[in-house]
Structure 1
Amino acid sequence: MILSALLTSVGINLGLCFLFFTLYSVLRKQPGNADVYAPRLVAEGKLEPRINFNLERLLPSAGWVSSSWHPTEEELLSRAGLDGVVFMRIIIFRRNRYILITYCSLKVFSFAGVVGLCALLPINYMGNQIVIDFSDFTNKSLESFSISNVNDGSKKLWVHFGAIYAFTAFVCYLLYLEYHYISLKRLAYYYSSEPKPDQFTVLVRGIPKSYAESLSANVEKFFSEYYPSLYLSHYMVYHTTKIQKLISEADKVSRRLAYLKSTQKTSQRYGRVGFLGIFRPKIDLVEYYEKKLEELEDNARTQQSLLSGKEVPAAFVSFKSRLGAAVALHVQQGENPTEWLTERAPEPEDVYWPFFSASFISRWIGNVMVIFACVILTILFFIPVIIVQGLTNLDQLETWFPFLKGILKIAFISQVITGYLPSLILKMFLYLVPPVMIMLSSIQGYVANSQIEKSACNKMLWFTIWNIFFANALSGTVLYRVNIFLEPKEIPNTLAVAVPGQVYAC
């Protein structure tokens, strides 16, 4: 990374941050964006309507930045729940309303900065592997301040190893303290909250079919026999595709109805419905959606009455205590490990219905296919990584595209290409990965949206570790030194010299 290119990238990013802060400050004040920036207040009817035009709405302000730091953990816990508190703890540690202790990230980066500036940087500077020309310092590579500049065989390399161990120990210590704090918060939140039905319930899948009895009777007989003092009741899962469509449509209608009732503008309350809303007269949309919601509810009840005989081999089994649910959750229920499979029941609003009827074999095959697809995606993503590494090396870029030599000689363009464009291209490709990971996780047989999101996060973690840390560093080393594979003995030496500089450039 050339210093001038690095400064250009920093300037562009700071400008974009200022632009986005300004746009957010203006857009959040517009009444039409209330359901986007304040959905909770809109749902609770606590948002005051703004009808009259005000010039202040068009001017950016920074008051929201300071007010965003005011809520205490107790307020966050009541508004956003424990997940919101944990998320904020990643960014900041806080003890009370007025005393800001420190930033979590700042602790890590402060320690790394002190060690790097006070210990590692002077050692790297005192090496003579790379000649430093301070007369044209802005146009020189910063690789001269990396570990690549340390002399071969120097005992000072032990300082780098010691710094790595010290940094790792420091981060582990911070993680231990944070984990201990969050664990106490979680236990306190768990004991203070009211018991929920899903805490007394387990999901049972792979229920064996019997020609003499229905699946429901089979479940009741099984758990009444093996858990006579703990078993309470069960609820079978049915094929409810039509009902789910009706519920989804009713949810959209109810949200639209709530929005119309919350608005004070009569122009939004009256409108046309039908194809493109053109050929029909204006009607009261509130009355229209209320009638449509009643029709959807009637249709859903009708479909519920027709569910008999559409059972799937899955059921929610409830117990009289949490202990009973825990015992059934952690004990193998039958001799066949693919039958009577128990797992924690998801919360009612977290249920993902499509895979309740999936068998153990089909889910296993789906998992294998998803793993294979993730591997293929990781390999294919190596292509944009190679492109990014090519942009960081102007000499290689001129070799690939000779017609760009004249353009690349312009200082500003070369700085943008080497300093900003590689990270921009890489991030644009990375934005396409999370939706793909969520799609792949959704076909693995999970029965809860939170399980799908957790699986997608795990996939993104491994994907990022490989493509950003390993592939991004090794690609710039191996691609331009393919001949090292012809001499295997030289591979360690070549990588030891080239990888630090390449990682520094990343």
Structure 2
Amino acid sequence: MDIAALLTSTGINIVICVVLFSFYSILRKQPINVNVYFGRRLASQHSKRINLCLERFLPSPSWIWKAWETSEDEIMAIGGLDGVVFVRILVFSIRVFSIAAGICIILVLPINYHGQDRIHKIIPFESLEVFTIENVKEGSKWLWAHCLALYVITLSACTLLYFEYKSITYLRLLHIIGSPPNPSHFTILVRSIPWSSEQSYCETVKNFFSHYHAPTYLSHQMIYKSGTVQKLKDDAEHMCKVIKHASVEKTCKSNFTPCCYPGFATNSFKKISSEMDSIQRKMSYNNMHLDTGEKDCAAAFVFFKSRYAALMAALVQQTSNPMLWVTDVAPEPHDVYWSNIRIPYRQLWLRKIATFVASVAFMLVFLIPVTFVQGLTQLDKLQKMLPFLTGILKEKIVNQVVTGYLPSVILVLFLYAVPPMMMFFSAVEGSISRSSRKKSACCKVLYFTIWNVFFVNVFTGSVISQLSVFSSVTDLPSQLAKAVPAQSTFFTTYVLSSGWASLACEVMQFFPLLCNIVERFILRHKEDTLNGNLSFPYHTEVPKVLLFGFLGFTCSILAPLILPFLLIYFFLAYLVYRNQIINVYITKYDSGGQFWPIAHNTTIFSLIFAQLIALGVFGLKSSSIASGFTIPLLIGTLLFHQYCRKRFLPVFKSNSAQILIDLDLRDERCGRMEEIYEQLRTTYNQPNVMLHASCHPQCCGHHENKDSGESSEDMEKGKENNQKNRPQAVQRSLSLSSDKSVLGVN
């Protein structure tokens, strides 16, 4: 590929970005699109006031200034700690690649360009390989510049990583200490409850925790069977009961005819009817009281009197059999993934094996489009294998478009199928919370994209180029050192197509916009049905950002031309994603910054891999000095990673006893414990089984270490006050997510 093909791809993507950003600045001002581009604000403010003026139909960059001016505290209030962490990943990328671009463009790029004694063409007709380390001759004394640049990039990245990790750890601690009482801190999830023929699961849980955790056990709430099949079964049982009660009522009416007697009051019919309704309700209550035990699952939420007690119960093995009474820290109420909590614990290892096998199979199937894409990037080699393509590609413009733009676009289109598939695998895997499911999908998408976008492209490109495979495993490092610089040109075009264009598509929100148009103009719906339905797609955007960071670190000294395109992407991403967090996406739950350890580990892996590739390249170029100085850098990076794992990572894995005990003492001094206990009763409400919880108080576990069963009237009052007793943490998050200003769409 030459510079002209790269410029063609750049020009196409610039035009696409400018057109889409201009359309967005106009479409966001139209009243019919408010629910598409301001869903977050509508959900928090319920406001749609828009000024009608000519400016609505003219493109303007006002959304860019608003995204730029929004402070980190506002991002925290709107998007939670996860939103702040994602923005911090972008800020870290901008900083480190600004340093990398500065030193590589000034120092490394001229050495690569003049690395051989040759006559250069005019720059637009130069091959991109001239700007890579491939153009440096063997034994060149100028390879020390590449080693120096690698040192600067690594030291800068590690320094910035340390301060970012330290700062985000501090924000996580503030998130735990400063927020109102979190119900999940008092709650554990118990699974694999042993079955007993003598008592129900509910009684088993009560007896176990009342005996072994008597001083701290507060109450518990059983988890019931639900879902489509269970709902059909419950509906069938309910119809049978209605038919049965209707037949009883008909029999009673046929045996009693009071209208034959004179002086019989007409309101007596109402009295008898009300008595029959009361009897029917009692019969229905008794039947459901007997049937609820059959709908129990071998899982329950158990509430404790203090945060420290709940943490100890979650971390300690409960019995000598580790497969029984399995405990975990409970997710936040809005974060619970109810369908997976009912999965039998013994199935989880089978599910994990099955999803791993399915993921590997999906990665193998994906080799087909990747190999096809690599064939398009090396048409001269492919024409030797398939001569009939020679006549089609004689036109130079066609050749430039096919080699410079089409391959990356095709790969991006195929990659759109990956996140939904990985999210499905993560759901089948058995995650107990929505945030852990999204985190698991994020890791799967990250592994998949790094493997297929980088490694498979490198290997298949080398195979097509050499028309042979690696002779042995020992040749792999040297072949990798040769192949990565050769494929760096494809990665540059991939940054353009998958990076710049994807940001323009992200801000346009094509799918919600299309759904809105269909509902407004075809189905004629007047109500907004998209409000509050979109949450931030961390499982797709975090892997994309980290993949570009991986490509940047790997190709920084090998092909420095990729760095300016990466910097432009990260700047655009910073503005686009801040705009989306502020206006579009709803924060339904918060994992507490759990995506940062993924970003840190990926960055360390990228640095180590870049150093290994550089070590191989220096060996191929016969530069023993550069190779020798790279080894200490590799060891130092590993030691730095190990230090961060010991110093910061435990804060993200579990809460400390010191913080939880201090919070317990603070709430006891303020007299808020009783209020917290009352909130726990109505916090974890399982969807579609509210009737069971309100009709069977004992199985709900609403007691405090004694048989203090509540009456049905008390349960009905609790059900009516369900919305009034919402946790303060949820109320605070909703209040913080709303802007003080009136909704504006300038």
List alignment gaps of at least 5 residues for structure 2.
233-283, 492-746
2:161 corresponding residue in structure 1: 175
> Following TM superposition, by how much is the alpha carbon of 1:337 offset from its aligned partner in structure 2, in angstroms?
1.4
1:189 corresponding residue in structure 2: 175
How many residue pairs match? The answer is: 439
2:105 corresponding residue in structure 1: 117
1:433 corresponding residue in structure 2: 418
Percent of aligned pairs sharing the same letter: 45
Quick check: 1:133 aligned with 2:83?
Answer: no
Hey, what's the Cα distance between the residues in 2 that align with 1:431 and 1:242?
29
Hey, what's the Cα distance between the residues in 2 that align with 1:123 and 1:242?
66
Hey, what's the Cα distance between the residues in 1 that align with 2:473 and 2:322?
48
Report which stretch shifted further, 78-87 or 446-455: 78-87
1:419 corresponding residue in structure 2: 404
Contact 1:237 1:316 in 2 (8 A): yes
Question: 1:403/1:243 Cα in 2 relative to 1: closer, same or farther (>3 Å)?
Answer: closer
Which is higher, the Rg of structure 1 or of structure 2?
2
Question: 1:177/1:45 Cα in 2 relative to 1: closer, same or farther (>3 Å)?
Answer: closer
> Following TM superposition, by how much is the alpha carbon of 1:105 offset from its aligned partner in structure 2, in angstroms?
2.7
Deviations 1:421-464 (A, max 9, x none): 11111111111100000011110111211111110001011112
The 3-state SS of whatever aligns with 1:313 is: strand
Quick check: 1:199 aligned with 2:185?
Answer: yes
2:304 corresponding residue in structure 1: 319
1:89 corresponding residue in structure 2: 88
1:240 corresponding residue in structure 2: 226
Contact 1:2 1:142 in 2 (8 A): yes
Contact 2:426 2:437 in 1 (8 A): yes
Contact 1:230 1:321 in 2 (8 A): yes
The 3-state SS of whatever aligns with 2:392 is: helix
Report which stretch shifted further, 466-475 or 232-241: 466-475
Deviations 1:349-387 (A, max 9, x none): 222122223223311111001001111111121221111
1:394 corresponding residue in structure 2: 379
Hey, what's the Cα distance between the residues in 2 that align with 1:487 and 1:340?
50
Question: 1:36/1:488 Cα in 2 relative to 1: closer, same or farther (>3 Å)?
Answer: closer
CA RMSD across the alignment: 2.7
> Following TM superposition, by how much is the alpha carbon of 1:327 offset from its aligned partner in structure 2, in angstroms?
0.3
Q: 1:466 aligns with which of 451, 473, 491?
A: 451
Contact 1:392 1:418 in 2 (8 A): yes
> Following TM superposition, by how much is the alpha carbon of 1:123 offset from its aligned partner in structure 2, in angstroms?
2.7
Hey, what's the Cα distance between the residues in 2 that align with 1:158 and 1:467?
32
Quick check: 1:25 aligned with 2:25?
Answer: yes
Q: 1:337 aligns with which of 322, 325, 330?
A: 322
1:68 corresponding residue in structure 2: 67
Contact 1:484 1:490 in 2 (8 A): no
2:39 corresponding residue in structure 1: 39
Hey, what's the Cα distance between the residues in 1 that align with 2:53 and 2:128?
51
Letter in 2 for 1:367: K
Hey, what's the Cα distance between the residues in 2 that align with 1:498 and 1:197?
53
Deviations 1:30-66 (A, max 9, x none): 111112211233234452434x864432222111211
Q: 2:367 aligns with which of 370, 382, 400?
A: 382
Question: 1:186/1:405 Cα in 2 relative to 1: closer, same or farther (>3 Å)?
Answer: same
Contact 1:207 1:339 in 2 (8 A): yes
Question: 1:319/1:142 Cα in 2 relative to 1: closer, same or farther (>3 Å)?
Answer: same
Hey, what's the Cα distance between the residues in 1 that align with 2:472 and 2:188?
59
Question: 1:461/1:138 Cα in 2 relative to 1: closer, same or farther (>3 Å)?
Answer: same
The 3-state SS of whatever aligns with 1:134 is: coil
Hey, what's the Cα distance between the residues in 1 that align with 2:78 and 2:480?
51
Hey, what's the Cα distance between the residues in 2 that align with 1:161 and 1:436?
41
1:361 corresponding residue in structure 2: 346
Report which stretch shifted further, 60-69 or 311-320: 60-69
> Following TM superposition, by how much is the alpha carbon of 1:165 offset from its aligned partner in structure 2, in angstroms?
3.9
Hey, what's the Cα distance between the residues in 2 that align with 1:15 and 1:482?
37
Hey, what's the Cα distance between the residues in 2 that align with 1:492 and 1:147?
16
Question: 1:245/1:108 Cα in 2 relative to 1: closer, same or farther (>3 Å)?
Answer: farther
Contact 1:351 1:449 in 2 (8 A): yes
5 Å-filtered alignment, 1:240-319, equals 240-241=226-227, 307-319=292-304
Hey, what's the Cα distance between the residues in 1 that align with 2:14 and 2:66?
22
Question: 1:451/1:325 Cα in 2 relative to 1: closer, same or farther (>3 Å)?
Answer: same
Letter in 1 for 2:77: S
Letter in 2 for 1:358: I
Letter in 2 for 1:309: E
> Following TM superposition, by how much is the alpha carbon of 1:89 offset from its aligned partner in structure 2, in angstroms?
2.5
Question: 1:406/1:186 Cα in 2 relative to 1: closer, same or farther (>3 Å)?
Answer: same
1:497 corresponding residue in structure 2: 482
Quick check: 1:218 aligned with 2:227?
Answer: no
2:216 corresponding residue in structure 1: 230
1:452 corresponding residue in structure 2: 437
2:466 corresponding residue in structure 1: 481
Question: 1:31/1:401 Cα in 2 relative to 1: closer, same or farther (>3 Å)?
Answer: farther
> Following TM superposition, by how much is the alpha carbon of 1:20 offset from its aligned partner in structure 2, in angstroms?
1.3
Question: 1:505/1:48 Cα in 2 relative to 1: closer, same or farther (>3 Å)?
Answer: closer
Contact 2:408 2:490 in 1 (8 A): no
Hey, what's the Cα distance between the residues in 2 that align with 1:168 and 1:74?
30
> Following TM superposition, by how much is the alpha carbon of 1:245 offset from its aligned partner in structure 2, in angstroms?
7.2
1:7 corresponding residue in structure 2: 7
Contact 2:34 2:48 in 1 (8 A): no
Question: 1:392/1:243 Cα in 2 relative to 1: closer, same or farther (>3 Å)?
Answer: closer
2:699 corresponding residue in structure 1: none
Deviations 1:249-286 (A, max 9, x none): xxxxxxxxxxxxxxxxxxxxxxxxxxxxxxxxxxxxxx
Contact 2:189 2:299 in 1 (8 A): yes
> Following TM superposition, by how much is the alpha carbon of 1:144 offset from its aligned partner in structure 2, in angstroms?
1.6
Q: What is the TM-score when the length of structure 1 is the normalising length? A: 0.80
> Following TM superposition, by how much is the alpha carbon of 1:491 offset from its aligned partner in structure 2, in angstroms?
6.3
Q: What is the TM-score when the length of structure 2 is the normalising length? A: 0.55
Contact 2:378 2:465 in 1 (8 A): no
Report which stretch shifted further, 439-448 or 152-161: 152-161
Letter in 1 for 2:60: S
Structure with the largest fraction of helix: 2
Contact 2:42 2:48 in 1 (8 A): no
> Following TM superposition, by how much is the alpha carbon of 1:322 offset from its aligned partner in structure 2, in angstroms?
0.7
Contact 1:146 1:504 in 2 (8 A): no
> Following TM superposition, by how much is the alpha carbon of 1:469 offset from its aligned partner in structure 2, in angstroms?
2.0
The 3-state SS of whatever aligns with 1:237 is: strand
Question: 1:245/1:472 Cα in 2 relative to 1: closer, same or farther (>3 Å)?
Answer: farther
1:78 corresponding residue in structure 2: 77
Deviations 1:370-416 (A, max 9, x none): 00111111112122111111111121343455444333222222111
> Following TM superposition, by how much is the alpha carbon of 1:114 offset from its aligned partner in structure 2, in angstroms?
1.9
Contact 2:113 2:131 in 1 (8 A): yes
Question: 1:393/1:482 Cα in 2 relative to 1: closer, same or farther (>3 Å)?
Answer: closer
